[in-house]
Structure 1
Amino acid sequence: MSSNLKFGAGIWHFATYVDRYATDGYGPKRSLLEMIDLAGQVDDLSVVDINYPFPGGNVSVAEVKAALTKNNLSVIGITPEIYTRQFSKGAFTNPDPAVRKLAEDLINEAADMVRELGAEYVKLWPGQDGWDYPFQVDHHELWHLSMAGLTNVAKQNPDLKFVVEYKPREPRNHMSYDSMTRTLLALEKINLPNIGVLLDFGHALYGGESPADSAQLAIDYGRLFGMDVNDNLRSWDDDMIAGSVHPIELMEFFYVLRKNNWHGVWQLDQFPFREDCVAAANSAISFLKHIDSALDRMDWDGLKEAQKQQDAVAAINIAREALFGLL
């Protein structure tokens, strides 16, 4: 049950952001190459997840490869932007077959980019798939379309892995893939070996899940292909610095991963609107390292015994002592 630390981040961590108030943005726009250069300044960061089409203006694959090499970075995933304005009524679930085909074509282009950049997977976040109002959709048809779209792209690219990142809501009020259980239900029905789940720690919190329980469930079904970490106040997908609000739950999450010998990238999905993006990434990675060392210090046998008895007091004391040096 040893650790195997490797850190990554979504390249959007190094972008600048807008919201419905600061419509002029929280800083000047950055090109993808500028984002990669900032990622290269983060201590111990080795991989990035990159949006497709490439953000921040026209840039060639050769330029991206050169920037990655210069910053000693590689690519873990390509995230096709199947959630933009043209997909505002859905990607897989769009009522227009022509738009569904556009989404499929974009995902296949992203798959080619995975091959070109030597990445591990295509990450699918179908954020516009779902509904907003009662009676708006035929739920049977919507669910069928959600699974059919995923099935099509996975079958067309059997040599690649696809990961589905679920989220309860936003931008849709109800998203098709809104929870670990619903996502696993779809993947079990589809029954293809190259589709898994990317568990976003914050999405699990936001959805009222225990991230540790969700991780164990995905592992038990052989579907945990990737994960993101961040933090929030549970009422929204705030994408704050990992460990800033829920350190004990973050520790339990990584305890479950280590217990199951799950080795993957500890990936940041943070949105530092007002913070220095390099400092925010370093802060998160530093705390993740602390969690890893706390797991080394933790009394695993004592915890196992406490869990056998479902002794909450003993269990939390063991976790606190390891993480904070407190009894």
Structure 2
Amino acid sequence: MTTDFFAGIEPVRYAGPDSTDPLTFRYYDKDRMVAGRRMEDHLRFSIAYWHSFTWPGTDPFGGETLLRPWMSGADPMTLARQKADVAFRMFELLDAPYFAFHDRDVAPEGESLSGSIANLNAIADIFEAKMETAKVRLLWGTSNLFSHRRFMSGAATNPDPEVFSYACGLVKAALDVTHRLGGENYVCWGGREGYETLLNTNIGQELDQLGCFLSMLVDYKHKIGFAGPILIEPKPKEPTKHQYDFDVATVYGFLQRYDLLGDVKVNIEQNHAVLAGHSFDHEVRLAYATDIFGSIDINRGDDLLGWDTDQFGMNVPEITLLMHEILKHGGFKTGGLNFDAKIRRQSIDPADPLIAHVASMDACARGLLAAEKMLEDRALEGPLADRYAGWKTPEAKAILAGERSLEQVAEAALSLDPQPRSGRQEYLEGVLNRYV
């Protein structure tokens, strides 16, 4: 039976650092107080419906390896209901506070747009009933505007206005369901909003289309009373050569141009940051610096592969820097740590997806605890403040406030003889290693 997929597996519990059982938490103690909040309330873990229950284990050179009973062999809606049963059982076993979904991952495509929307709402009815007695809540929903062949040239940026309109219909339905289920955010993931060649692309036209699309979505969000932010997930490439949400800086400029900064934030993923030529830490810091930080997909890529491998986040130093920034800015508001990650195609046992989540949840908990201690000790904040201390003087503040002209600043410089100071990079790298 599909509902017995996790038969014999007990709910995961905290067992402490000495545990060697891969189905126990060693560091994630949900009720432990960290920087004034319960650990669970800081980390806000979310299980991604698509990679956990929909990805069949394919890659460009091979077919399905994850032969799950709800993936084939019956009416698609029957399979979708079975998948929902398995999903909510996994949420229960992991004691997960949140989950997230794409419309097409929870419900199959219909014969028409109306049929697809009806399928989505039918599964949403099941979710709503299950959530009445379950702990899990919805972190965010989204619409799949990239898998079907109609979106081969994009959705909002498609040269065909009929495809644009079809995408509007799907997004409206997905936001309606997200709102109905109490979702805290809505994500726009533009998997194919980009180009493969400039020979057939009008960049200005497509940017205006994307700006129009998001503006309509923001207007509708307010109309129905959806309180959470719209999130854009930056990604530079793959499968296309270039995407319009290349990185955090690109998204910020786009939002500024189309007057969307008040309603739209970013959902940042490590692998996308690396593909854009940045570090994860860079993208998070820039999002905070530009006030568009929203949420995190806590997965990673393979440094030896130049594409999106969606592996579980296990890099404790990298996660520590992430949590250091989030704690420094007061923690998540509506976002969380969403496991947009999939087990490897060779990890075929029913316990493998649970073990992967447990290991990554522990890595995040370790990073959170290290970040808390670093902030208490001002291990990084102290040296950083010292480096920029000169800008706290009255004269430097006056310069930044625009109270001095270029001539005045240049005149004052005639009596100066500034000397360089060490950036202390190796020292700071050693400091980080002491905490992790």
TM-score, normalised by the number of residues in structure 2 = 0.69
Report how far residue 69 of structure 1 moved. Answer: 4.3
What SS does structure 1 have at the residue aligned with 2:101?
Answer: strand
Report how far residue 93 of structure 1 moved. Answer: 0.6
What SS does structure 1 have at the residue aligned with 2:51?
Answer: helix
Question: Could you list the per-position Cα deviations for residues 110-157 of structure 1 after superposition, in whole angstroms to 9, with x for gaps in the alignment?
Answer: 111121100012211011111112423122222222222111211222
Question: Could you list the per-position Cα deviations for residues 272-300 of structure 1 after superposition, in whole angstroms to 9, with x for gaps in the alignment?
Answer: 13331111111100110011111233364
**2:382 equivalent among 305, 310, 318:** 305
When structure 1 is superposed on structure 2, of 216-225 and 124-133 the one drifting more is 216-225
Aligned position for 1:250:
319
What SS does structure 2 have at the residue aligned with 1:238?
Answer: coil
2:139 counterpart of 1:76: yes
2:434 counterpart of 1:321: yes
What SS does structure 2 have at the residue aligned with 1:306?
Answer: helix
Q: Is the 8 A contact 1:11 1:39 kept in 2?
A: no
Gaps of 5+ in 1: none
Aligned position for 1:196:
265
When structure 1 is superposed on structure 2, of 299-308 and 209-218 the one drifting more is 299-308
**1:21 equivalent among 50, 58, 61:** 61
Counting only pairs closer than 5 Å after superposition, residues 85-124 of structure 1 correspond to structure 2 as 85=148, 86-124=150-188
Aligned position for 2:101:
50
% identity of equivalent residues: 18
Aligned partner letter, 1:189: R
Aligned position for 1:241:
312
Q: Is the 8 A contact 2:156 2:193 kept in 1?
A: yes
When structure 1 is superposed on structure 2, of 54-63 and 185-194 the one drifting more is 54-63
When structure 1 is superposed on structure 2, of 30-39 and 251-260 the one drifting more is 30-39
Q: Distance in 1 between matches of 2:123 and 2:198?
A: 44
Report how far residue 102 of structure 1 moved. Answer: 0.6
Aligned partner letter, 2:43: L
Higher Cα Rg, which structure: 2
Report how far residue 12 of structure 1 moved. Answer: 1.7
Aligned position for 2:215:
151
What SS does structure 2 have at the residue aligned with 1:271?
Answer: coil
**1:278 equivalent among 339, 343, 354:** 354
Pair 40,14 (structure 1): closer, same or farther in 2 beyond 3 Å: farther
**1:60 equivalent among 119, 123, 136:** 123
Gaps of 5+ in 2: 1-33, 72-78, 109-118, 388-421
Aligned partner letter, 1:209: H
Q: Is the 8 A contact 2:103 2:144 kept in 1?
A: yes
Q: Distance in 2 between matches of 1:253 and 1:310?
A: 21
Pair 268,54 (structure 1): closer, same or farther in 2 beyond 3 Å: closer
Report how far residue 225 of structure 1 moved. Answer: 1.7
Report how far residue 79 of structure 1 moved. Answer: 1.2
Report how far residue 54 of structure 1 moved. Answer: 4.9
Aligned partner letter, 1:41: L
Q: Distance in 2 between matches of 1:262 and 1:210?
A: 20
Pair 74,251 (structure 1): closer, same or farther in 2 beyond 3 Å: same
What SS does structure 1 have at the residue aligned with 2:43?
Answer: coil
Q: Is the 8 A contact 1:26 1:273 kept in 2?
A: no
Q: Is the 8 A contact 2:233 2:267 kept in 1?
A: yes
Q: Is the 8 A contact 2:270 2:301 kept in 1?
A: no
2:233 counterpart of 1:181: no
Aligned position for 2:416:
none
Q: CA RMSD in A?
A: 2.1
Q: Is the 8 A contact 1:8 1:48 kept in 2?
A: yes
Aligned position for 2:205:
141
Aligned position for 1:267:
338
